[in-house]
Structure 1
Amino acid sequence: MLLNSWRVTKYNPLHRNNEGSYLYDDWTSFHEVGNKVSLSDYLRIEEAYIQAIGAFMNDMNINTVYIHALELSSNEIQIQHASDFTSNLWIGKGISIEEVKELAKLTLREAVWCKLGIKNLFFVHFGYDYYMYIGTNSNCHGARKSVKSLGLYVEEFESPY
């Protein structure tokens, strides 16, 4: 069992009601690019999420994580031109930090859904509406500070996944 679990998001916790619901009408999906969010703003936030995962992995001295759950959306994978990458993924496979970054991008763009981790050490889970959950067996003070400097919010929170 991991000691620490955080929700890492673009959503300011000051804008939540007492039940934890976010109060503002904000974009929640890659599919809202061009409608509710510009491509450049989307890409900036997406990159911050990907860098956040890297910050925690670096803080933990982790170079490889394992795919614990994986769902693929073939239409979205084709749209993202990621068939070659995703054809080499399976549950249980160890993946490098560079592969984690690519897989996170595809997950944030809703082409795949996955859970990544190392048992009793580290995990990354992705939720609906652009929520991400990270858990570690360390307090990762440096990573949390780094993620906040990227403009994201890090809240103590148990992953629902």
Structure 2
Amino acid sequence: MGNNINIHFGYDYYMYVEMSSKAYFKELQQIITAAGLYWQEFPIAPYHLDKEDVDALSFRWGNGQTNPPGDYHHDLRISKDNPLNRTYTEWSHFDEIENGLDWEEYQAVEQKYLQLVLDFLELFQIDQLAVNGGLGFTTIQELSVPAHYFSPQEETLFQQLQEYNETVEDWTVESFIIPKEDFTTLFQLIFKGRFYAWISTDSLTIQFDSSYRLYLSFYGYKKEVQQLIEKHGLYWQERQPPYHEAVGFS
């Protein structure tokens, strides 16, 4: 549009404005703010970049507000320590490695995360989860952890998931269904690093990494989820990724 400005409408209600000079940049900001909208400055329009060039975790709202109003997509990173004073910790040999947890500490941490995830799924009224093929597994031998740390329920579900992963012909058609009564066992396997998968539904995504950080992505209910996190003595940070692409939403 014209020689000095180009306007492009993108996915998910984004509008991009390219200007050949910054002469009217402040005026444009005032117009956007007056309309109750939010802006972010880029050196080059995002739709001109290759997908891998866009840092999904670098998005911030240009006027300093990190939480525009409305029922939109949220992405929270939860940690067991204050993010400003956090040390790397992993589940493996417990107190035999640097920054490892002893068994009692691990159980306390696991219960915090486990109850949070269960409350989170209850809030969104999720009664079952569908797991698809291409899964990742780690054996007890690879973890170098005594077998008695794993319950019979965990072993049974672990074997069932492995069998599914090895025998399913088309995981896009045939999912492995986890009923509500097995949620606890599923997340115990994930927390201990024996099973790797993103848990996704139409309204949320759950991911857990090896350093006791939990990623919850969801639509709406932001204050309710934050209150759940704080209730269980955990810490949260909000991230602003490009919606959908950064968290695997379909």
- Can you give the 5+ residue segments of structure 2 that lack an aligned partner in the other structure? 1-11, 13-71, 165-170
- Pairwise CA distance, 1:83: 3.3
CA distance, structure 2, for counterparts of residue 114 and residue 42 of structure 1: 21
TM-score where L is the length of structure 1: 0.78
Letter in 1 for 2:84: L
Superposed CA deviations along residues 61-90 of structure 1, whole A, max 9, x for unmatched, are: 111122246311233599335332122234
Aligned to 1:145: 227
The residue correspondences of 1:1-150 to structure 2 (distance < 5 A) are: 3-15=73-85, 22=86, 24=87, 26=88, 28-35=89-96, 36-68=100-132, 70-75=135-140, 79=147, 80=150, 81=152, 82-89=154-161, 90=164, 92-119=175-202, 121-150=203-232
CA distance, structure 2, for counterparts of residue 83 and residue 38 of structure 1: 22
Superposed CA deviations along residues 87-146 of structure 1, whole A, max 9, x for unmatched, are: 223463221233222111111111111211213x11111223122111111224223212
Give percent identity, aligned residues only. Answer: 17
Structure number with the higher strand fraction is 1
TM-score where L is the length of structure 2: 0.53
CA distance, structure 1, for counterparts of residue 125 and residue 158 of structure 2: 25
Secondary structure in 2 matching 1:128: coil
Secondary structure in 1 matching 2:117: helix
CA contact (8 A) 1:46 1:108 kept: yes
| Largest Rg, 1 or 2 | 2
- Pairwise CA distance, 1:43: 0.4
Superposed CA RMSD: 2.7
